[in-house]
Structure 1
């Protein structure tokens, strides 16, 4: 069922369109799984992979200015900010907490805790660097999980031990929350709606 809601006169927002032509990807071209996972590890890893792919789909085809656009003023959220933020989240949970690496955080400092969002600027080099950083952190996380002997291995978050299975569930939750934000951000940019 496809329908088009007309823009109101004087409204500079894109039309809200529904139908496969306005979706990020046609069903037959969707790189995400059919979710027929078997076993705990496959289920957690598969759902997290699908959430990561969803982020990429929601950002597909946008230029640097569109990626950095804050479309819900006064919020500092942008699609580029979400990519930068999620690169930092991946880094924190897998590289720092689970692997115990002592590395500086991407994009944020004690003096600028919102640097991942505030520093998201419409520069093609900044966008490329954010995607490279995100992909490197995702790659590290995937290797770490694949090499883990079981999901009960623990890292340390502050003074608290956390199991790898908890981290995977938390990451699915984190992506799902931010992919919801990405739905609204993308719709405000060009009217395309997510799935």
Structure 2
């Protein structure tokens, strides 16, 4: 096979994908929670086994997008939606400020401490989201969301799944650029 037609390495061996063991016949809440779990797990898989330098590797100039930046961005997104908007907590941004609105990407540097912090806060925010969703009695519960108006928990969960899915497409390309691995 020529180099031009060579298939890049896949992430996972067939049959070893950890995303294949969740519930498949759940109700609407279980289905939405499972799709969110799968999207989060996909982001983790795309980042697995990389050094701090590789995680901080930018896509192409002038973009500041990196896998580490995506982890930081998604921590910020979960925090904004579930701590601030839905729970109404006074939770300051994790990375961004009015002076540095793109700090989640700009600050994604090749430092093991920055990487560890990003994963820690991402896990804290995803755990908060999961707890919030579990405690909310109905997907029909609505919340007044600043510039968005009234939104149901269902709509916010679908938005989160979409946000992860979109950025996981970016993660595919970023990972392929780093080591040629593509896939699932």
The TM tier, using the shorter chain, reads over 0.9
| Greater helix proportion | 2
Note the C-alpha offset of 1:143: 0.7
Q: Aligned pairs, how many?
A: 182
- Which residue, out of 3, 9, 15, partners 1:28? 15
Equivalence for 1:127: 115
TM-score where L is the length of structure 1: 0.88
Cα distance in 2 between the residues matched to 1:17 and 1:190: 13
Equivalence for 2:156: 167
Cα distance in 1 between the residues matched to 2:65 and 2:104: 10
Note the C-alpha offset of 1:6: 5.0
Equivalence for 2:30: 42
Say if 1:104 and 1:188 are closer, same or farther in 2 by CA, change over 3 A: same
SS of aligned partner of 2:15: helix
Equivalence for 2:166: 177
Q: Which runs of 4+ in 1 moved over 3 A?
A: none
Equivalence for 2:3: 5
TM-score where L is the length of structure 2: 0.93
Equivalence for 1:151: 139
Cα distance in 1 between the residues matched to 2:35 and 2:20: 8
* Structure 2: runs of 5+ lacking an equivalent: none
Cα distance in 2 between the residues matched to 1:135 and 1:182: 18
Note the C-alpha offset of 1:4: 6.4
Cα distance in 2 between the residues matched to 1:136 and 1:24: 26
Equivalence for 1:91: 79
